[in-house]
Amino acid sequence: MSDLEFDLFIIGAGSAGVRAARMAAQRGVRVAVAEDAALGGTCVNLGCIPKKLYSYAAHYGEAFEESAGFGWSHVAPTLDWSVLKANRAREISRLNAVYRRLLDEAGVTVLAGRARLVSAHEVQVDGRIHRAKRVLVATGGRPVVPVLPGHELAITSEHAFDLPQFPRRLVVVGAGYIACEFASIFRGLGARVTQLFRGEQILRGFDDDIRSFLASQMQLQGVVQRCRVQVASLQRVADGVELTLNDGSTLVADQVLYATGRRPNTHALGLQEAGVALSSQGAILVDEKFCSSVPGVYAVGDVIDRIQLTPVALAEAMTLVDGLYGSGQRRIDYEGVPTAVFTHPNVATVGLSEAQARERCGQVRIFRSEFKPLQHTLSGSAQRTLMKLVVDARSDRVVGLHMVGGEAGEIVQGFAVAMKAGATKAMFDATVGIHPTGAEEFVTMREPVMA
């Protein structure tokens, strides 16, 4: 194999692909990465970063209103959608350039074009074949819209950031974190938002107290939530898009945003032709070392569909590169991965839900606190905070920590470290809180609400 052009060829320059490319190149590995879109993948261009920027934007509307309780007088503000879009686009372009500079400085060959796997050691990009000792597929995932009459009229999260006109009436279909985030964001920006979902409650898989509490808070903010309904069809009408539901009722919106799931980006990559095994959902099947069914072909990130979070994809990329070109000591632990949902208010969680803990641990103790944050004693807002601890009664270890409230993600990140270290409830109790903060509530809850 002396005619190999590269040691590692990476398909996809999202979070996982870029991290793997940089780490490998810094170890002297000859690396190429192919990408047919903007560098940075979904997170930078169409996901985490623009979503968080729009979440910040949405908070300002309520902040202006709440400031009156603190003595500020003002004229009611208005949103200039075009300014928000332009400023977001400028920041994303800056990040694209940062990614390119990092790859260039590491010595990575960047190829702009659609890549296709030809064999275990050959990748075709725009008609040219490149040979490599190893190939890494890091193409991420994409949102999907179910096929139904008029489905082409719907948009996904990838379209929501750059709509020509701000949708005054928005219907969001779905109950997962993406659906809830966009429902909250557009409501905060001033849209009338209706959220439709077929289940009983939002955020399946999260702790039940968190689910119901967030739903009530979103409704308080003005998001109309309708459960146990499905969309039967969409059609264009004079004043927008009309949705017909399975119960026969109809409603009209300016835009219909589907957030009902994502699928791995494995279509038209030549994977199956090359012998790479896929799951029924199209994910690449890999072993504990991220190797596919074809020796020499690896995959990480959303394309393997384990936990669809950017930090997990980064961790997988670093683990793979360390295994191939380093000490091989790095491991990824999928237990206790913290996550946040940037709704209004935010949600953050780490560890087990109450139901999961009862199943795994048997006897548990539950500590829960609901309160009005100090800020809102003057703001006039009815928003409240919920904090919850789930404790294994036998070991006293805190196995679940959950929060709905302002800056939940910032607060829970630190507690995630403590839980990874095996912190017990006694350790929480022995920790002095920072007053006055919301975070101190996690170390001052003394009486369990149930066992």
Q: Which amino acids are annotated catalytic?
A: 435
Which of 384, 362, 364 minimizes the C-alpha distance to 375?
A: 384
Looking up tokens 């948009």 gives 155
In whole angstroms, what separates CA 217 from the centre of its chain?
20
What is the token pair recorded at 318? Answer: 């670093």
- Tell me if residue 171 falls in helix, strand or coil: strand
Residue 421 token pair? 């270290």
Q: In 3-state terms, what secondary structure has residue 133? A: strand
Structure token pair of residue 149 = 């009459």
Tokens encoding 406: 């302002």
DSSP type of residue 433: P
Q: Which H, E and C letters describe 49-115, residue by residue?
A: HHHHHHHHHHHHHHHHHHHHHHCCCCCCCCCCHHHHHHHHHHHHHHHHHHHHHHHHHHCCEEEECCE
Task: Specify whether the CB–CB gap between 203 and 173 falls below 8 A.
Answer: no
Residue 289, H or E segment = none
Print burial letters for 159-188: b (CB count within 10 Å at least 16), e (below 16): ebbebeebbebbbbbbbbbbbbbbbbbbbb
Smallest Cα–Cα separation from 264: which of 294, 304, 324? 304
Structure tokens at 233: 């069809």
Sheet holding 250-253, edge to edge: 231-237, 240-245, 250-253
Q: In b/e form, how buried is each residue of 103-136, taking b as 16+ CB within 10 angstroms?
A: beebebbbbeeebbbbbbbbbbbeeeebbbbbbb
Q: How far apart are CA 203 and CA 222, in angstroms?
A: 18
Cis peptide before 436 (omega within 30 of 0): yes
Nearest of 24, 165, 49, 181 to residue 107 by alpha carbon = 24
Question: C-alpha distances in angstroms, 351 versus 105, 416, 420, 439?
Answer: 38, 8, 9, 17
